[in-house]
Copies of this chain bind each other. A is one copy, B any other.
Amino acid sequence: MTAMLANIANQTEPWRFLVVDDEPDLVEVVCGALRHEGWDAVGAHDGREAVSAAATYQPDAVVLDMMLPDMDGMEVMRRIHTSRPEVRVLFLTARDAVEDRIAGIAAGGDDYVAKPFSLDEVVVRLRSLVRRSARGRAGRVASPDCLVVGDLVLDEAAREVTRGGEPIELSPKEFALLWFLMRHPRQVLSKSQILSEVWSYDYGGQAHVVELYISYLRKKIDAGRPAMIHTVRGAGYVIKAAAP
């Protein structure tokens, strides 16, 4: 019965992730962000737990801290791969980790992000990791990664934005912010939500920067044309196709 349900559900079931870090709060925060994307996520807090969770939970990918109390991250990956080599790994590393060793990992199909990271960044990497993965999921077309809202197009791979065909230059933060907005079109996003997803998860600053960057974006994207980025007073911001 249980097996049957699992099989049926497999057609449309969301991606599954295992998040491993020795800091429980971080695990919770990341799991939360992944669930917010509509994915499933569970946590583990050391290497042993991670290996056994990977066996029972069967995740599509693992978010794995390099530094664990009982085991090196690489070692954990190796053990998981002995039984399920198709599992992808996204490493979390300290900013000052040995860079070339990490680069080797990235080349092998897996990836890494340096702490402190923004939740948005983790979501990005996992998306592309799983998309690249051999496991072809039903209903997912390998289309070039373009977000489209009205006449606004964001090409993820080319890091290019155009409105009505005209190219628009954006700074990294502007790009990240626009991307987050375009991933949730016609949906009001609060400033704190934007702050914690687009800025680093431990960012201590004010929600004021969001207003500022929204204003930058408006200058570049809405400049003259019908507005796409709207303020919802007391709630947040929305992006949607300009009214006809």
Contact = CB atoms under 8 A, between A and B. Distances in A.
Contact of A132 (B35, B195, B196, B233): B35
B107 A187 contact: no
A159 B189 CA distance: 10
A14 B234 contact: no
Interface stretch (A62-70, A136-144, A218-226): A136-144
A6 interface: yes
Contact of A109 (B25, B35, B103, B110): B35
A172 B240 contact: no
A105 interface: yes
Interface in A30-58: 30-36, 38-43, 56-57
A202 interface: yes
B9 A5 contact: yes
Contacts of A110: 28, 32
B35 A133 contact: yes
Nearest to A243: B167
A14 B136 contact: yes
A8 interface: yes
A179 interface: no
A180 to B, nearest CB: 10
Interface in A91-114: 99-101, 103-110
A25 B234 contact: no
A233 B172 CA distance: 7
Interface string A124-168: 000000001101111110001000000000010111100000000
7 contacts: A2-B2, A8-B9, A12-B140, A32-B109, A36-B107, A36-B109, A100-B203
Interface of A: 1-2, 5-6, 8-9, 12-14, 24-25, 28-36, 38-43, 56-57, 74, 77-78, 81, 85-86, 99-101, 103-110, 119, 132-133, 135-140, 144, 155, 157-160, 171-172, 186-188, 190, 192-193, 195-197, 201-204, 232-235, 238, 240
